[in-house]
Amino acid sequence: MSQYIARLGRRSPAAPPRLRLHRRPRRVAMLSVHTSPLHQPGTGDAGGMNVYIVELAQCLAAINIEVEIFTRATAAALPPTVDLAPGVLVRHVDAGPYEGLAKEELPAQLCAFTHGVMQAWAGHRPGYYDLVHSHYWLSGHVGWLAAQRWGVPLVHAMHTMAKVKNASLADGDTPEPAARVIGETQIVAAADRLIANTAEEADELVRHYEAERDKVAVVHPGVNLSRFRPADGRAAARARLGLPQDALIPLFAGRIQPLKAPDVLLRAVAVLLDERPELRSRICVPVVGGPSGSGLAKPEGLQKLAARLGIADVVRFCPPVGQEQLADWFRAASVLVMPSYSESFGLVAIEAQAAGTPVLAASVGGLPVAVRDGDTGFLVQGHDPRAYARVLRDFADAPHLVDRMGDAAALHARSFGWDRAAAATADVYTAATQEHRRHVRSHHG
């Protein structure tokens, strides 16, 4: 292998420099250890990152970069490989028990997962994968080793960071362990390039993890604009979902865990109805999603809270739904409410806006990039339910706000297409490949 790397570093000087320096990778090994791109977002550990990986991989394949996604097998009956789309292959790797393994227990399975990745690679000719792109810190550790072994660049996307999450924990949330902090620090040092969702995330990588500024590239995630679009409008979506036509419908969509703060929405609704009891007959609050992470300990906690607050009659709990139906929930809503404590980007905010719905969100993480405050929605500092209740009251009193902001939101979301994100990611791959070759040459020159 070292001879192969050495040969890579001593390319014939006759090769045209432009071609040699700017060649994009043809095939990328994408790693997603803890969550499968085939899983339903909004359940367990499946969320925005699943959507991100699926959409990005499909758009990369469309510009002739093949993607193989390695993920942990979570059932014995799963086939070893699944064709997700032309040019996108999902490989199921056996690592640990199929069922009931919490994300916190996965570090112990990284060795077995790495073994599975290496086995797949061993069946190919040398140089089969041109680059490794790992998602989340667990995958980063496998990616670090694989990239080193294969003599290829490592591109890593954090998605969330332990130090950032621990700095803004919700009540009752569990801090991220020291092992994760150490792991993330090692990956930041090892990666040829780091992809951040926003400029703020890039700053956090530099500030908290001492990332080299020129190794960090900002690529905004995209949205599937053919799926998330205003379509036939709010009234039709409400009719399909059996929702009242003239109601104020503040929607929560996502995993039910303290980090996402669905309780803040329920408390805000209770404050609103205390002040304006006449609104009770025309408000409906759907909560679409399943418990996850630290919310799994008390899966019925939110239902109990609704009953305690005396608003169980206006809250409707719905299990997670597929992307097509989620788009309908967004269209039907008056406003999507995202009171999260931490959010690396907030993909759901862009999806809702693309469907023509304004967003009321906490001003954290990437949400100030996703939402244009006062134009496509409202940003709130902090998590005081009264502040969210004030905005909900504005929507109740001025129903035209929903349509005006919804139109602006749909327009704003159009600049977040996945094709744009894939093109920017491909540029990061090219830069990482150049950097890697320079590094190899300096060691073998």
Q: 165 a known binding residue?
A: no
Q: 180 a known binding residue?
A: yes
**Sheet hosting strand 335-338, strand order edge to edge:** 315-318, 285-288, 250-253, 335-338, 359-362, 377-380
Query: Which residue has tokens 């979570």?
Result: 74
Q: 313 a known binding residue?
A: no
Q: 374 a known binding residue?
A: no
Q: 414 a known binding residue?
A: no
> What's the sign of the alpha-carbon dihedral 199, 200, 201, 206?
positive
Hey, how many other C-beta atoms are within 10 angstroms of the C-beta on 294? Answer: 15
Q: 22 a known binding residue?
A: no
Q: 432 a known binding residue?
A: no
Nearest-5° Cα angle at 213, 412 to 424:
40
Q: 370 a known binding residue?
A: no
Question: Residue 218's beta-bridge partner residues?
Answer: 196
Helix axes 323-332, 234-241, angle to 10 degrees: 120
Q: 357 a known binding residue?
A: yes
3-state helix, strand, coil split of the chain in percent (to 5) is: 50, 15, 35
Residue 213 gets which letter from DSSP? Answer: G
Determine the Cα–Cα distance for residues 231 and 331; give it in Å rounded to an integer: 8
Q: 330 a known binding residue?
A: yes
Q: 255 a known binding residue?
A: yes
Q: 364 a known binding residue?
A: no
Q: Token pair for residue 160? A: 């969330």
Q: Concatenate the DSSP letters of all residues of 75-140 into one string.
A: STTS-SEEEEETTEEEEEE--S-SSS--GGGGGGGHHHHHHHHHHHHHTS-TT---EEEEEHHHHH
Determine the Cα–Cα distance for residues 222 and 230; give it in Å rounded to an integer: 17
Q: 58 a known binding residue?
A: no
Q: Token pair for residue 240? A: 């399909």
Q: 321 a known binding residue?
A: yes
Annotated binding site for Mg(2+): 330-331, 333, 357
Annotated binding site for 1D-myo-inositol 3-phosphate: 34, 45-50, 103, 136, 160, 180
Annotated binding site: 34, 40-41, 45-50, 103, 136, 160, 180, 255, 260, 321, 330-331, 333, 343, 351, 357
Annotated binding site for UDP-N-acetyl-alpha-D-glucosamine: 40-41, 48, 255, 260, 321, 343, 351
